[in-house]
Structures are given as structure tokens and as C-alpha cells.
Structure 1
Amino acid sequence: TFSACFGAAFIMLHPTKYAAMLAEKMQKFGATGWLVNTGWSGGRYGVGSRIKLQYTRKIIDAIHSGALLNANYQKTEIFGLEIPAEIEGVPSEILDPVNAWADKVAYKESLLHLGGLFRNNFEVFADYKIGEDNKLTEEILAAGPVF
């Protein structure tokens, strides 16, 4: 299933309001955000496997040490996520999901399907303007998948 906002049934404000609050706090305090996959790798449930805890810990260690601030990155297609080229102690196929999937066609199909789910979800935000000049709304929409 696709959940655009964990705990959506319990949030009181529009999700873009929370995005604006997070962006404001991150800018105010100079925070850096990291998206770490701790779930499935190498295929959907039944094909792939969960990322090993030891790899997750190595990734978090690299974040905490600041090592990733100066790392080389490559950009993914569709979502435009930036993935570090290497992290000590973590196999490269874990970092870039396409490398973990034996079935590249299935990977591409899953990627396009997920991108479509995000694109459809982002349509909900198109008419909700936040920020004095609506710039934040535009930035949120621009962060969506491109294909």
C-alpha cells in the first residue's frame, strides 16, 4: 500500500503545513536531512530482503561522523535522489537500489509504478498554496518524480 504521510489519519493540519514547518526549522538551525532505506532491497517482498542492520548502522555512523558531507554522489532517475558513491563497510549494491535487483525490468517497472503513485499524490498539493509567495508549494511539487 502507499501511504503519503505516515499517520495521516491523525494529523490536524494539511501536510504542506508540516512540510513548511520542517523546512523553516531546518533552515533556521542549519540542519541536514538524510533519507535512509532500512527496508527492502533487491526486489519486492518475497524476492528481495531487508537491509542488514549492520549496513544501516554503517550508514548512520557515516552521517554522524560527517563523512557523507564530502562524499561523491550520483543522482537516481525518476526521483532525483542523491546516493553516495561509497560508504565504508556498505556494499555498493545496497546504496544504489538498481544494483541490488537481479531483474532490472522488474526494478524499472516498480520504479515507474512508485513514481506514478507519488505523482498522483502530489496532485493533492498543487492547489494548496503555502508561503507568502507560494514558493514553498512550487518547491514541494518540483521535488516530485520526473519521468
Structure 2
Amino acid sequence: MPRAYWLMKSEPDELSIHDLQRLKIARWDGVRNYQARNFMRSMAPGDLFFFYHSSCPEPGIAGVARIEGEPYADPTALDPGSHYHDPKASAEKNPWTARDVGFVEAFAAVLPLATLRAQPGLEEMPLVQRGSRLSVMPVTEAQWQIVMGLARK
């Protein structure tokens, strides 16, 4: 089965590409949008994703990471001390998903959203669409190759 490609957003003060580089593997949690959660559930071990730094002074694609293992219930939904706590979730019925992710590569420089929007061939990428707010989204192989080319310049 061919590999799938994704983009996942994280605020760097929560988890940055450099944090993941240091940790090697980390839990990706806190996704509270059903469409984004469904994308996380459909990922396969070994799928690659662009690690996007969001809600920060320099938002953009900061590197590449890999999906490790199978999806599992997001423990932050059950933790009253977490800002991702969901009071409707229970141990028996937790609708939220977490994934373990592994470090692959940090780019030499973050690829800013403005650069991605201006790049021919990325017009259909959900990230560059106005109003696109999803934190997890699919990326086509063609889009993946274009972005990797930009990162290598």
C-alpha cells in the first residue's frame, strides 16, 4: 500500500520540531476537531507528515515527522488538569485520538505560509486555502514533492 502524506499543526510552545528531535518520539494529542481526528485515525504507521508550527511569530512548515504505531484514546481528554480536557469523555467512551510520532528531519529554515501560498502547484493544498483551520490534513504526493523541493533550496 502506498504511503500517505499529511500535515499536522502544533504550537511550538506545546511541541516543536526541535522538541521532537530531542525526544525522538512523542505523543500527538489535544486534537478536538472531528474531521482532524478522523484523519489521525486513518493514518498508517510509517506515514510521513509536515510538522507545521502554528500560532507563533514564524508560522510555517518546520520539518518532517513519521507516524509511529496505531491510534489510541487521547488521555488528555480525561485529565481535568489539561486544557484539552473533555468533560463529556470517559474511560469507557473517549471520542478523541492520540498518535505517537517520531522525528525525521528539521528543515534549515521554516517554510512560511506566504511562501507556500505563492508556490505554483500548491493552490489546492488545504493549508493555503483561505479559512482552512484544520490542525491535521492530507497532502498529495505532488504537493509533498513541491514542499520538499522548497525545503532543499
TM-score normalised by structure 2 residue count? 0.20
More strand by share: 2
More helix by share: 1
Q: Which of these two proteins has the greater Rg computed from alpha carbons?
A: 1
The structure showing larger relative contact order (alpha-carbon pairs under 8 Å, at least 6 residues apart) is 2
TM-score normalised by structure 1 residue count? 0.20
